[in-house]
Structure 1
Amino acid sequence: MTDVKRAERTRALARRAAAFANHGASAGARLAVHGLDFLAPAPGSIISGFSAIRDEIDPLALLTRLAGEGHRLALPVMQGKGLPLIFRAWAPGDEMGKVQWGIAEPLPDKPALDPDIVLVPLLAFDANGYRLGYGGGFYDRSLEGLRAKKPVVAVGIAYDELRIDAVPHLDYDERLDWVLTPSGPMRCTGT
């Protein structure tokens, strides 16, 4: 399965690079237009976004909208290889630290939060809610831990072009509940 995932990851990186070249920064703005109204999040919900790297869709405009709607925001922080992420409070304009792979993270003085909704970056997704990430398992471990504490909705953030028929997966791969693309939200059928 590792070789199958690795091969699909290579194809997905090429598809994502092409989608980024085609859509550029407009993709993030289109996510913000949709917002998370399809989830009807409770007032003050804790929503974790992410700091985009390389050719990922930048969710900053969406996160800014969500902050304006009164939601509490968080961003993931890496604790180390093989460990789940922690989610620290964040607001647009906060000072950030740079870590591995150039990812911006909230500073250590920000409190840890348990999000109600987790926005998840990805390389590929399917209608059943399986996603292909970078292979570190950070989001799978994190979602498993959060979901053991309370109901958590996982929303993949992706270009429409990253949808494939079937993502190779293993038993420990956590499913997405929804995927939000520039063309709109899609409820995953496997959840």
Structure 2
Amino acid sequence: MSLLQQADLVSVPPSRQAIRQRVRQLRQQLTASEQSQAASQLAEQVLNQAAVIAKQHVAVYLANDAELATGPLIQALWQAGKNVYLPVLHPFCPGYLLFIHYQNHTELKPNRFGIPEPRLNCANLMPVAGLDIIFTPLVAFDAKGNRLGMGGGFYDRTLSQLPANSPCQVIGLAHNCQQVDQIPTESWDVPLQQLITPAKYFDFRNL
């Protein structure tokens, strides 16, 4: 059975670091074919959500460390006439992200983690509060919408800038195999409102 076909929740030890290690191993074991299939299915899942189609300013990410690839999704968003934005490391506020308008001709350069990002240009900057949707990467998630990232806290800090009544939708993207039984939470964690895998849409807002 391939990892994409696994239906059961991943059984892992309870510590956050143990979860990171185990789930990263699982997604790194996905074959190139499985990754490609998952990326195509994700784009289809996202574009099937009416709430996404109704929005205009959408932040996405470029995959790293076997994260669910977003290339087909970005292409689909462009074709649907959406404005797409990519995160860049904030040059003056360590630990925070900025979002830059991304087009098919946008020049990319690797940041200090080796992840491609647009060159910082204030003319192309979109404030976090101006985004309609922020698609976030993650290492693992649970049925309550708790999100476990790589440990740097970049998205948690950045998303904390959103006002409580912000209409911006924060939506996690993950492989099916990244769901776990339970994630131990910390006070700074920002839970997900929604999450999309290649096989399913999760809505955590009414839990």
TM-score with structure 2 setting the length: 0.82
Task: Report which structure shows greater RCO (CA 8 Å, sep ≥6).
Answer: 2
Change (3 A) 1:190 1:22: farther
Structure 1 position 97 matched with structure 2 position 113 = no
**What does residue range 73-152 of structure 1 map to in structure 2 within 5 Å?**
73-79=84-90, 82-109=94-121, 111-113=124-126, 114=128, 115-147=131-163, 150-152=166-168
2:88–2:120 contact (8 Å) kept in structure 1: no
Identical counterparts, % of pairs: 30
CA distance 1:186–1:149, shift in 2 (3 Å)? closer
Report if aligned partners of 1:128, 1:190 keep a CA contact under 8 Å in 2: no
User: Unaligned 5+ residue runs, structure 1?
Assistant: none
Report Cα offsets for 1:8-67 as digits up to 9, x if no partner. 211121122124567122111111112243252365521100011121111111111111
* Greater Cα shift, 122-131 or 29-38: 29-38
Consecutive unaligned residues in structure 2, runs of 5 or more: 1-13
Considering only CA atoms, is the larger Rg found in Structure 1 or Structure 2?
2
Count of paired positions: 189
TM-score between both structures, scaled by the size of structure 1: 0.88
CA distance in structure 2 between the aligned counterparts of 1:149 and 1:111, rounded to whole angstroms: 25
Correspondences of 1:21-36 after superposition (within 5 Å): 23-36=34-47
- Counterpart-to-counterpart distance in 1, 2:116 and 2:30: 23
For the 8 Å contact 1:96–1:104, the answer to whether it is kept is yes
Q: Deviations over 1:150-177 (max 9, x none)?
A: 3221111111111011111112100111
